[in-house]
Chains A and B, each alone.
Chain A
Amino acid sequence: MSLSLNDILFYFLAGVAVLSALGVILQSNPIYCALSLALTMVSVAGLFASLSAWFVAGVQLIVYAGAVLVLFVMVLMLFDTKAEKRAFSKGIVSGFFKIASAAMIFAIAGGAASMSGDARFSKLTGIASATQSTKDLADLLFKKYLFSFEAMGALLLFIAIGAVALSRIQGGTHAD
Chain B
Amino acid sequence: MIALKDILVVAPMLVLLVASLIPVMIKVFNSNREPAPFVTIAYSILGLVAAGFLTASMSGVKQTAFSDALVLDGMGVWGTYLVLGSAAFAIMMAYDHVDTYKRLFSEKCFLMMGSVIGTLTLLLSNDLIVTFLGIETMSLCIYILIAMSREEVLSKEASFKYFVLGSFASAIFLYGIAMIYGTVGSTQIPAITAKVGELLTNKNHLFYFGIGMLILGFAFKVSIFPFHFWTPDVYQGSPTPITAFMATAVKTATFIAMLRVFQSTGYQAEPKLMSALSWLAVMTMTVGNTAAILQKNFKRVLAYSSVAHSGYIMIGLIAAAFGDNYDSAAIIVLFYLFSYSIMTLGSFALIGILEKKVGVGLNVDDLKGLAKKHPVLAAALTVILFSLAGVPPTLGFFGKFSLFGVAIEQDLYWLAFWGVLNSVVSVYYYLRPVVVIYMTESDETSDELVATGGLAKATLVFTAALTVIIGLASSPLLEMVRAAVLNRH
Chain A contact residues, CB within 8 Å of chain B: 143-148, 151-152, 154-155, 157-159, 161-163, 165-166, 168-171, 173, 175-176
B8 within 8 A of A: no
Give Cα distance in the complex from A74 to B129, angstroms. Answer: 32
Residues of B within 8 A of A145 (CB): 69, 129
Q: How many contacts A-B (CB < 8 Å)?
A: 81
Q: A147-B10, A147-B65, A151-B130 are in contact. Are A158 and B114 (CB under 8 A)?
A: yes
Chain B contact residues, CB within 8 Å of chain A: 1-2, 10, 17, 24, 65-67, 69-70, 103-104, 107-108, 110-111, 114, 117-118, 121, 127, 129-130, 133-134, 136-137, 140-141, 144, 147-148, 150, 152-153, 156
Q: A154-B137, A161-B111 are in contact. Are A170 and B130 (CB under 8 A)?
A: no
Residues of A within 8 A of B147 (CB): 166, 169, 173
Which residue in chain B gives the minimum CB-CB distance to A151? B133
A175 touches B156 (CB 8 A): yes
Contact of B144 among A146, A147, A155, A162 (CB under 8 A): A162
Give Cα distance in the complex from A163 to B140, angstroms. Answer: 11
Minimum Cβ distance to chain B for residue A169 (Å): 5
Which residue in chain B gives the minimum CB-CB distance to A170? B150
Residues of A within 8 A of B148 (CB): 165-166, 169
A175 touches B152 (CB 8 A): yes
Give Cα distance in the complex from A165 to B141, angstroms. Answer: 11
Minimum Cβ distance to chain B for residue A17 (Å): 27
- Between A and B, 26 residue pairs with Cβ closer than 8 Å are A146-B2, A146-B66, A148-B69, A148-B127, A151-B121, A151-B134, A151-B137, A154-B114, A154-B137, A155-B137, A158-B110, A158-B111, A158-B141, A159-B140, A161-B24, A161-B107, A161-B111, A162-B111, A162-B144, A163-B144, A165-B104, A165-B107, A165-B144, A166-B148, A170-B152, A175-B153
Minimum Cβ distance to chain B for residue A11 (Å): 34
Provide the main secondary structure of the chain A interface. Answer: helix
Contact of B140 among A155, A165, A176 (CB under 8 A): A155
A158 touches B153 (CB 8 A): no
B144 touches A154 (CB 8 A): no
Contact of A170 among B66, B103, B136 (CB under 8 A): B103
Residues of A within 8 A of B103 (CB): 169-170
Residues of A within 8 A of B110 (CB): 158, 161
Q: Identify the 8 closest CB pairs spanning chains A and B, nearest first.
A: A162-B144, A147-B66, A165-B107, A158-B114, A171-B152, A175-B152, A147-B69, A155-B137
B67 touches A144 (CB 8 A): yes
Give Cα distance in the complex from A173 to B114, angstroms. Answer: 21
Further 11 A-B residue pairs, CB within 8 A, beyond A155-B137, A166-B144: A144-B67, A145-B129, A146-B69, A147-B70, A154-B117, A155-B136, A158-B140, A161-B107, A169-B103, A170-B103, A171-B156
Minimum Cβ distance to chain B for residue A88 (Å): 22
Give Cα distance in the complex from A166 to B145, angstroms. Answer: 9
Which residue in chain A gives the minimum CB-CB distance to B9? A147
B141 touches A162 (CB 8 A): yes
Give Cα distance in the complex from A147 to B121, angstroms. Answer: 10
Give Cα distance in the complex from A151 to B69, angstroms. Answer: 12
Give Cα distance in the complex from A12 to B342, angstroms. Answer: 67
Residues of B within 8 A of A166 (CB): 144, 147-148
Give Cα distance in the complex from A159 to B141, angstroms. Answer: 7
Minimum Cβ distance to chain B for residue A57 (Å): 25
Give Cα distance in the complex from A175 to B155, angstroms. Answer: 10
Give Cα distance in the complex from A175 to B151, angstroms. Answer: 10
Which residue in chain B gives the minimum CB-CB distance to A143? B67
Give Cα distance in the complex from A169 to B103, angstroms. Answer: 8
Give Cα distance in the complex from A71 to B89, angstroms. Answer: 40
Which residue in chain B gives the minimum CB-CB distance to A162? B144
A169 touches B130 (CB 8 A): no
